[in-house]
Amino acid sequence: MEKVSAYTNTRLKKVINVYQQQFRDFKAPGFGDYIRGCFHMLQVLRILNKYRNTNVLFDMDIRNHPMSKFIEVRGPVETCTNYPMLGNYFIDSLEVKNDPDDMGFQFILNNVINFFNKIQEETYFTFCCKFPVFEKIEEEDKEFIRQRLLPNDVLKESIEQTLRTLDLQKGGYSVVHIRIRDEVSFPPVALADSRMKDIEKLLTPKLDSSKKYLLITNHNDIKRYFQFASVPSHICHVGQDATPTDEAVRDTMMDFYLMAYSNSIIAYSEYCFTGFSLECSKLFNIPYEIITSPPTPPPFPGL
């Protein structure tokens, strides 16, 4: 560890990852990206505290996002005085071995030390969506995040009513999550059947006729095409949409928890990646498979 810099910050006591729609110079990415950033921050603060003998705490803050209307807000007691001016936490990072003698580990720890040495605040509010630096996410980290994201009574009732309507039991169904490109989803553009048939060809070999499936998607045309159980709902991107309705935020968060209560997730994304379901699966320890060979996107929206 002789290659690692000294940690000299005696002022910093807590780092708080904030999720809101608009930051100083960028709009927020998706909710899954925020959860991923919380995993990252918990990991890097743990190694900072352990190997540099400090005690910087971590917390989450969604109070300035409309989703706080549907989540039991158990965030920090500290108050952010200037949400609009918050910026992006950034260090060069990559996934490394959790071994202090590993050069990659030392690279990460050095970057973390150098970054936080510059933060001369007792409580540092920021936004982080960086990838975890270690493959293994500790169960205590997952539990910490889960406790900060509990649905409130309003959302719980919507979830329970949906499960009753669809005759589904928690843990008794699988989820098919289909993520269509944002530019044809927000606002929605009509999708051609040929596009959905291509998706169907990829999904069908992955399905088990003995299982119950619930469809989660960011486009209602997908719900009309596929014969899975689904919920007629308002759809929004909780990061990118400027003025989502309360109903759209509620329904999007309900989709997240319906995935959390499933026993497995099969995902398809036109981006070959979707944090919304992937990070949900990590957070709630749900078996996950993503289909990574998408059809070629059409040259024009909807075609």
- pLDDT tens digits, one per residue of 33-73: 999 999 999 999 999 999 999 999 999 999 999 999 999 98
Tokens of 141: 């980290």
Domain segments of the chain as ranges: 14-148, 153-291
- Enumerate residue ranges in the chain where pLDDT < 50: 294-295, 299-303
What is the chain's alpha carbon radius of gyration, rounded to the nearest angstrom?
20
What's the token pair of residue 281? 């699966």
CATH (one of 2.60.40, 1.10.1060, 2.60.120, 3.40.50) for 153-291: 3.40.50
The SS3 of residue 57 is: strand
pLDDT of residue 197: 92
User: Could you tell me the maximum CA-CA distance found in the chain, to the nearest angstrom?
Assistant: 61
The percent of residues in the chain predicted with pLDDT above 70, rounded, is: 93
- Report whether 113 contacts 7 (CB < 8 A): yes
Is the bond preceding 187 in cis, omega lying within 30 degrees of 0?
A: yes
- What per-residue confidence (pLDDT) applies to 270? 87
What pLDDT shows up at residue 293?
A: 58
What's the pTM?
0.92
pLDDT at site 303: 41
- CA–CA separation, 294 and 272 (whole Å): 7
Check: CB of residue 230 under 8 Å from CB of residue 214: yes
Q: How many CB atoms within 10 Å of residue 202? A: 14
Neighbouring residues of 47: CB distance < 8 A, sequence distance ≥ 6 = 105, 108, 109, 112
